[in-house]
Amino acid sequence: MCVICEDPVRCAWSEPRKGSSRLRTMTIANALAIATVLLLPAGWADGQSPLAPASTHSNPKCENQSRSTYLIGPDDELQISDSELTDSANKPSRVDGEGNVDVPLVGRAQVAGMTVEQDEKKLNNLLRKYIRNPQVVVNVAQVHSEPVSVLGAVNSPGVHQVQGYKTLLEMLAQAGGVRPDAGYSIRITRRLEWGCLPLPNAQVDSTGQFSVAEVNLKQIMDAKNPEDNIQIFPNDVITVPKAETVYVIGDVKHSGGFALDEKRSISVLQALSLAEGPNGTADTHHAKILRLKNDADQREELPVDLKEVLTGKQPDVPMKGNDILFIPGSTSKKAALRALEAGIQTGTGIVIWRTP
């Protein structure tokens, strides 16, 4: 046996007694000593407390919710495919009122009340009698009529019934199209029972029950990103926010509000062009932008010398949503204009030249 020493690993092996085999032997106690040292968490051997494990909590991501948990029901239309099945067998089949569907080679099979993934497993087990290693893929080609909410800046907001394959643009058309004051983006909210939205910016909300994403309205309508024109599923919520608006008032030809459309900002000259420019009596030296203060109902005044901007002596000024561009009138110009109008009406001292 080994005498007590400071290093349990070195002392675990002991020299045998005289006359015995020269092979080294290990006692049970010494083996336990080795195991104790090797299995202790880092820091315990030095009398330190073990480190607490790092938190593995993270926000839910859409990559973990790729498969739909929608429960198949009567009147749903399924496409059941497998590489070993013929093309005719891959045609969509409708689920009857009892929850059964026609499966190639198998016949009628109960599929209602289960998810797509559960149905795939069940059909694989049924098809093993006829196909070696079946790899069935089940897709929901059409669902029975379900509600879809289309809200915001559309001509007919409300709850619309969807049946069959419907895209985002088709649902907007069903809602009467977007209004002229529609914003630059569309927000889509989907229950996770249908899986995550197939969009690159899709996120799971804080409740972990919905997938939320935004798409650019103009890019879809201009066919720049046709892949964003995704299929719409039951209980989806499509929200079209109103566009941010800038206002041009005062001595201009066409005062009013102008939607920013897909743009997030606009300059003073761009806003002025939308208002068809200033009148001849406008005081362009003393224009101002009225802008809402942060977390306040009051507006601050930002002076703008339009005359200097128009001549290129000063840079153009950016405007934000809800800004008001005010262009006052010049009192002296208005007085001169009134005098000229009075002279024209009386005809006194006015010479009219006739062109040849």
The tens-digit pLDDT sequence of the chain (356 residues) is 444 444 444 444 444 444 444 434 444 445 444 444 444 444 444 444 444 444 444 455 665 454 566 778 888 888 888 877 765 556 788 888 888 998 888 888 998 888 888 888 998 898 888 888 888 888 887 777 678 999 999 999 999 977 777 899 999 999 999 988 888 889 999 998 888 899 999 999 999 899 999 999 888 888 888 999 999 988 899 999 988 888 999 999 988 888 876 666 789 999 999 899 999 888 989 999 999 887 777 888 999 999 999 888 999 999 988 889 999 987 765 565 565 455 445 444 443 343 33
Q: How far apart are CA 292 and CA 297, in angstroms?
A: 7
Q: How far apart are CA 254 and CA 277, in angstroms?
A: 8
Angle at Cα 157 formed by Cα 152 and Cα 163, nearest 5°?
Answer: 120
Question: What value does the CA radius of gyration of the chain take, rounded to a whole number of Å?
Answer: 38
Q: Supply the DSSP symbol for 27.
A: -
Instruction: Render the burial of 74-84: b for 16+ CB within 10 Å, e for the rest.
Output: eebbbebbbeb
- Structure pTM? 0.54
Run of H or E including 178: none
